Structure 1
Amino acid sequence: MRTPLARLLALPNIGPLIAITVAVVFFAARSDRFLTGANFSLIVQQVMVVGTLAIGQTLIILTAGIDLSNGAVMALGNIAVTKLAVDAGLPVPVAIVLALGLTAGFGAVNGLLVSVLRLPPFIVTLGVYGVAFALTHIYSQEQTVSGLPRAMTLLDKTFPLGGTDITYGSVVMLALFAAAWYVLRLTMAGRHVYAVGNNPEAARLAGIDTRRVLLGVYTTAGLLYGIAALLLVARTGVGDPNAGQSDNLDSITAVVLGGTSLFGGRGSVIGTLLGALIVGIIRNGLQLIGVPSIYQTLITGILVIAAVAVDRLNRGRQR
């Protein structure tokens, strides 16, 4: 019979919640600027791009895959939408649709190679990372795109909520998390994603078209990377070919810290949101108390290793 503590620790997302609580208490005691509405709004703004990437990463990791290309695909979408609007002079809605189609297309390529040719996701997405990275720098000619139309930065505009200014981009990210939660938890398509990640052969024998599920997951993830590119453009006000160079690792970090298993079939996007907030809170808090940025990377790395180790031990006990 399990103890009350063991039952508490077995609750979904309790680990990330405890981590956030400890971090908030610690930084609140060290800095009087931490527990303010403006600072929490800033934290959400700082994680909204990686958080959106992490939604797509969660979908892929739930199928026991991984995507190393998402930051590079986002950067390509970032450059594509800005150059189409500025250099080609296309209307902003048309530029956005074309850029989203481009990133979704890269996701579909990943999905086809993984589902049809059955290539390892790590190798496929590593190769696509190189292709997207090179195309971004070739297309941009290593130049930042500025002078964007006002409509392209609307998501960085704010509205007041309880005395705190909230950006529309933050609302978009939270809405995407809510939509992903609904699909994964309350639809047949979501149950198929978990089934494929848990045991693809059993899912196939149960009548699930595993290839179509994988293709759909990777394509949807690519579309989300395009939305992340739009959020990045709104936040920075430029098209930057060097954007997102470490965001693939940051998105994996958010997913792992949120409790999603790297072995597939277990986890949630709510946990991913909490994982992204953990990273954002730690980085923000350390900056406020004057800790050098290198220690942010050190602490985040330790947390990732600990989270993966705990996941591995839990799966061992379940067997």
Structure 2
Amino acid sequence: MTSSATKGGARESAAQAELSRRAQSPAQRLQHVLHSNPAISPAIILVLTVVVFSLLNSRFASANSLSLLVQQTAIVAALAIGQTLVILTAGIDLSVGAIAILSMMVMATVAAKNGVPGPVALLIGVALGTLAGALNGFLVTRLNLPPFIVTLGSLSIFTALALLYSNGQSIGADQMPDLLNWTGNSFSIAGFVVTNGVVIVLLMYLVVGFALSQTAWGRHVYAVGDDAESARLSGIASKRVLLSVYTVAGLIFGIAAWCQIGRASVASPNGIVDANLNSITAVVIGGTSLFGGRGGVLGTLIGALIVQAFATGLSLAGVDQNYRLLAVGILVIAAVAVDQWIRKVKS
């Protein structure tokens, strides 16, 4: 009797769900799909971008141009991984570039001017980035300060420390040990030139993507971003999760600093100064919600590629730099508008 009633109830629920689905308009169904798969819309934009710019200029689709595009995207894409983690928790980090620059200048300076071996200098730089991220997390979780204010302040602090420590001087590749320049070494795959730095960035995407989708930590990150109070009431240590997010982000920024040295063949306190906004742009265009709880690193990687593809494509098309900035600005606003629409999805 009970078994029959259970089956009948299940069939009724399934029928109601089917009727509900059929009652939805095409726009509502699209809304549900995009809500469940945030990377779809940026992926479509990337494909259309590549197709359009390839038609406008055949050089865009050449192996050389695409290789250069990927290399130019790598650093912002790396920093955007950490930014994604923070934004998933409904926060924001304005200090990503400053942490990377501080890590870069410290690892380069101790190696070039203090004679510290390459492996040790690298560890010092990455550890410093991790510590800087943990400091941001401590201020957010223990003092309950807004992430925007905390990272706005630490942006100035870390930038000043980098300039003071390095005396505002750049350090060339010839002054640094081979290990710090290793990320700039390249190899060829079917005509595409790939640097070691690009491989490291892709590995970070795989690791973080796996952690977010396949581990309890990842589920907790999404839960905290969706509703921190509900997550706490369900037994999740929300503040500990937040602290870990900022700390992991700092670790990623430190590794990105190493990749930047190889990419630019120089450690400069004036490098990647616009990385803060660029990383946020990549995350937003990639479909991660600024309100937390929805998105992922796959979309972020696509978003970073879209921004660079627009810059490269418009440059090859001979479009003025000001119009390139205009195009990126329109993309950001459109992405946020789409996110707002998707967030209104009804179950």
- The TM-score range, normalised by the shorter chain, is over 0.9
1:112 to 138, 142, 148: 138
Does residue 135 of structure 1 match 2:161?
yes
Residue equivalent to 2:324? 296
> 1: distance between equivalents of 2:192 and 2:293?
38
Amino acid at match of 1:306: A
Does residue 199 of structure 1 match 2:227?
yes
Does residue 263 of structure 1 match 2:305?
no
* Structure 1 runs (4+) greater than 6 angstroms displaced: none
Residue equivalent to 1:150? 178
Amino acid at match of 1:239: A
> 1: distance between equivalents of 2:177 and 2:131?
25
Residue equivalent to 2:339? 311
Report which stretch shifted further, 188-197 or 151-160: 151-160
> 2: distance between equivalents of 1:201 and 1:69?
26
SS of the residue corresponding to residue 260 of structure 1 reads coil
Residue pairs, 1:1-319, within 5 angstroms = 1=22, 2=24, 7=29, 10-11=33-34, 12=37, 13-146=39-172, 147-318=175-346
SS of the residue corresponding to residue 33 of structure 1 reads helix
Amino acid at match of 1:167: T
Identity %: 48
Tell me by how many angstroms 1:78 deviates.
1.2
Contact 2:119–2:179 at 8 Å: present in 1 too? no
Contact 1:148–1:237 at 8 Å: present in 2 too? no
- Compute the TM-score of the two structures, normalised by the length of structure 2: 0.89
Check 1:8–1:39 CA distance in 2 against 1; reply closer, same or farther (3 A cut).
farther
- Compute the TM-score of the two structures, normalised by the length of structure 1: 0.97
> 2: distance between equivalents of 1:171 and 1:40?
15
Please tell me the root mean square deviation across aligned C-alpha atoms, in Å. Answer: 1.4
Check 1:162–1:4 CA distance in 2 against 1; reply closer, same or farther (3 A cut).
farther
Tell me by how many angstroms 1:140 deviates.
1.4
Structure 1 unaligned segments of length 5 or more: list them. Answer: none
Q: Deviations over 1:148-204 (max 9, x none)?
A: 222211111112211222111111111111111100000000000000000111111
Amino acid at match of 2:269: P
> 2: distance between equivalents of 1:209 and 1:5?
38
Tell me by how many angstroms 1:145 deviates.
1.2
Contact 1:8–1:14 at 8 Å: present in 2 too? no
Greater Cα radius of gyration, structure 1 or 2: 2
Structure 2 unaligned segments of length 5 or more: list them. Answer: 1-21
- The number of residue pairs the alignment matches comes to 319
